Structure 1
Amino acid sequence: MAKTSTRDRMSNEINAGSMADIAFLLLIFFLVTTTIVEDKGITVKLPPWSEEEPDITKLKKRNVFSVLVNAQDQLLVRGEPARIEELRGRAKEFISNPSKLENLAEKPTKAIISLKNDRGTSYDAYLTVYNELKAAYSELWDELSQRRYGVPYSEDMPFAYKKAIREEIPFVLSEAEPTAFGEE
């Protein structure tokens, strides 16, 4: 039997010295080029901070559309139990007051929607109510835009048109401080 020298044997090793460098460079490349998607949430413009005492004016009860969501996710609209399916229609009627009723808003510029929830209110119920109230305004803006300009209200319409519509029907949704769990 002949002896084999180490020179005759094939080397089965792979040089892995630069593998760590390549993996590190790929990691840096993916970290730099990847964009992280952020949740937008609800875009609400908060009033500016002020050290002065707020001017508390008397509001006419007829101009306030109060919506309360309690800890059991039940809805009270102006003190009466209501279903979520009715909320959008009732809010639109309140804001526009087409029949000029005495118990609805005097005009759209004076209409205030007050949303109050309980600390026990589910997030899903809160968002559903908020979306219905926002949709009421969106439908009113769209109807006014169709009547006045013949085009639906959208983000790509001229700024002057949007401003005129928003001045006639301003989005006024006041969110009150949540009550303690199960208080109301």
Structure 2
Amino acid sequence: MTMPVFHTFTDGKSLLSSNVRPDIVFLDIQMPELSGIDVGNILHNKYPDAIIIVITSFMDYLDDAMRFNVFRYISKPIDKDRLFRNMQDAVTAYNNRSSTLYVKCGSDYKLINQHDIIMVEASLKQTIIYTTNGNFRTYQSFSEIKEKLAHNYFYQCHRSFVINLNYVVSHNSHNIYLNSNLSADVAARKYSDFKEHYAAYVNSHV
């Protein structure tokens, strides 16, 4: 079992400038230079799957915190039982989020970070997983791989393609163009839905 590693920072700027990739974050609202709301928005854009808990005396910022999908908003003074209860909820939520794929590629198994996946394509009897670190071919079915993509930035635009919205460069009614000179087909009946889905995703990350 891997033991958790705890990092503490005196302000949000120190956290953001560190090389720590946080899984669960506790933020105060009042901090030097950058507020907890500012830090929460930056963290959410940089690490969309980070679980953020706000602890504060100010209840007026709840609407702002909802913009970065705050997991819990805990008021001061802190009740120890409530704090530990919410910590347990956060750990449970984290454990339920799979951030990696374990894929059989030939005779080997590969661990692929979902954040690095640009798109997935069904190609004949194989499934091709295109990532920022190279491409991986597997005989695991397209539907099986698709079911393991647990994050809201994945979108199935065609029966043979799932794309990562983080890597969209441009699009038209026939194709979606992505980083690494990749493109995916768009089903005609799905283009309107894709545009709405993509617009909502972009707006949530502004």
Regarding TM over 0.5, the answer is no
The structure richer in strand per residue is 2
Higher RCO, Cα 8 Å, sep 6+? 1
Normalised by the shorter chain, which TM-score bucket?
under 0.3
Q: TM-score, normalised by structure 1?
A: 0.26
- Which structure is larger by alpha-carbon Rg, 1 or 2? 1
